[in-house]
Copies of this chain bind each other. A is one copy, B any other.
Amino acid sequence: MKAVVLLSGGLDSYTAGAIASAEGYALSALTIWYGQRHAREVESARAVARALGVERHLELPVDLRPIGGSSLTSAEPVPLDRDLSAEGIPSTYVPARNTIFLALALGWAEVLGAVDLVIGVNALDYSGYPDCRPAFIAAFEALAAAATRAGVEGARFRVHAPLLTMTKAEIIRRGVSLGLDYGLTHSCYAPRPDGRPCGRCDSCVLRARGFADAGLPDPLLA
């Protein structure tokens, strides 16, 4: 069984891909360079793709900076030391990002003859992004059936989001049990000039909290 996995280079998509691989899917990995300030993660995606033993890895440039609207794709600074319990969606939200990414994955899946898409979204320890929720995943599956030749011909596209209801600590424990090397990954939104994580953006804080809750050291910081 073939599946297309959206691979960012972060911890979550690596784990989601590994879970799909353990379930028997042969993976094709899609990485989008979208003008994110932490483009460093694309290098990590290459290492992660190799570690996952994917059949093919496509890096696609889709520059979203002209659209803007996010501190990840504009000059607006990424918020640091934010209160993660605060209501609302932070400025790191990229408008329609997961819709765009899944749409591209859908097109590629259709070409490859795959009906399974894998995405590492997570609705618990996340930053409040709307396109990381179960309602979004269900709506995309419904769209995929209507949008494609394969769907019209009867294919049932499925969006696998195996991390959807897991905490970050559960994700990390699961990945470690699968033998993953999280030292290959990159999570930070605002990396230092030398590429090291800032330790203060939402993504760094959620990652650190996840490793702490899992009772494990983060190999990236070793």
Contacts and interface: CB of A to CB of B under 8 A. Distances in A.
Contacts of A147: 96, 98-99, 130-131, 136, 139-140
Number of copies: 2
Contacts of A93: 149
Interface residues of A, number: 44
Interface of A: 58, 60-64, 66-69, 89, 93-100, 103-104, 106-108, 110-111, 130-131, 133, 135-136, 138-140, 142-149, 151-152
24 contacts: A58-B67, A60-B66, A62-B62, A64-B107, A67-B104, A67-B111, A69-B107, A93-B149, A95-B110, A96-B104, A98-B147, A99-B107, A100-B100, A130-B152, A133-B146, A135-B146, A136-B143, A136-B147, A139-B139, A139-B143, A139-B145, A139-B146, A140-B143, A142-B142
